[in-house]
């Protein structure tokens, strides 16, 4: 039987959510889009407010200097900087790609495992991605890619324990291959530019670790 309840996020057994099914994920996408516009895709000076540390006032030339800059920033009360780089994007194509994947998978996590689980996943993968990227390469990065990789890892591994997500396995293969290619010179040769690979790795590892936690709430039937 097909569940015809308009509040049910499946159509003929396929995951097709509306914003009301995953308001947190939708809110994140909207914030990222608005910030991309306000910062001129990271070209305006206001962008420095959203970097993990402000390089105008801190030395970030070495690992020790970056650690000191981060501690000074956090002790000054600028805690939001641990998360705010997620919402900075430097091209519309990057934002659109992240938004599409995050909406497709993140909305499933928010609906099936609950808002608390999704928020936990978001915060944890943000920290794992942003801190690793910053400590290895400095503050000049942004994007939801680290969170996307975290959600990918979470969905892929937790799916093995309790099947509930509509998750094409090839997506995980593509993501891992793309991340590995990012550690080579190929993206720069192709004109794509340098990718925040440590953020991808940090997000993925954090998402995999959180997959060990059981779902917060029972997954509803797909209606098929």
Residue 32's pLDDT band (cuts 50, 70, 90): very high
C-alpha angle with apex 151: 208 to 184, nearest 5 degrees?
A: 80
Alpha-carbon gap, residue 1 to 11, rounded angstroms: 12
Q: Which tens digits make up the pLDDT trace of 201-211? A: 999 999 999 99
Active site includes 200? yes
The pLDDT, as a whole number, for residue 139 is: 95
- Which residue out of 126, 145, 158, 222 is catalytically annotated? 145
Alpha-carbon gap, residue 117 to 25, rounded angstroms: 12
Q: Which one-letter DSSP state was computed for residue 124?
A: H
Q: What is the pTM of this model?
A: 0.88
- Which residue out of 21, 89, 94, 200 is catalytically annotated? 200
Mean pLDDT of the chain: 88
Residue that wins the pLDDT comparison between 17 and 8: 17
Q: Which of 59-63, 154-158, 193-197 has the lowest mean pLDDT?
A: 193-197
Active site includes 76? no
CB-based burial label for 215 (10 Å; 0-12, 13-18, 19+): middle
Rounded to 10°, the helix 169-182/197-210 angle is 140
Domains (ranges, CATH) in the chain? 20-210 (1.20.1540.10)
Average pLDDT over residues 17-32: 94
């Amino acid at each position: 039987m097909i569940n015809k309840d308009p509040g049910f996020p499946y159509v003929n057994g396929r995951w097709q959510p509306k914003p009301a099914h995953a308001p947190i994920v939708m809110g994140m996408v909207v914030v990222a889009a608005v910030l991309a516009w306000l910062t001129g895709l990271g070209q305006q000076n206001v962008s420095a407010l959203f970097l993990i540390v402000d390089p105008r006032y801190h030395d970030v030339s070495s690992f020790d200097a970056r650690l000191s800059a981060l501690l000074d920033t956090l002790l000054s009360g600028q805690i939001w900087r641990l998360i705010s780089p997620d919402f900075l994007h430097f091209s519309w194509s990057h934002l659109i790609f992240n938004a599409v994947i995050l909406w497709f998978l993140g909305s499933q996590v928010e609906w099936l495992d609950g808002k608390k689980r999704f928020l936990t996943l978001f915060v944890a993968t943000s920290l794992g991605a942003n801190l690793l990227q910053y400590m290895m390469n400095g503050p000049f990065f942004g994007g939801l890619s680290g969170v996307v990789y975290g959600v990918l890892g979470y969905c892929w591994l937790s799916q093995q324990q309790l099947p509930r997500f509509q998750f094409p396995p090839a997506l995980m293969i593509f993501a891992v291959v793309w991340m590995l290619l990012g550690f080579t010179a190929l993206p720069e040769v192709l004109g794509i530019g340098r990718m925040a690979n440590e953020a991808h790795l940090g997000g993925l590892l954090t998402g995999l670790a959180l997959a060990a936690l059981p779902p917060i709430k029972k997954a509803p039937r797909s209606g098929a």
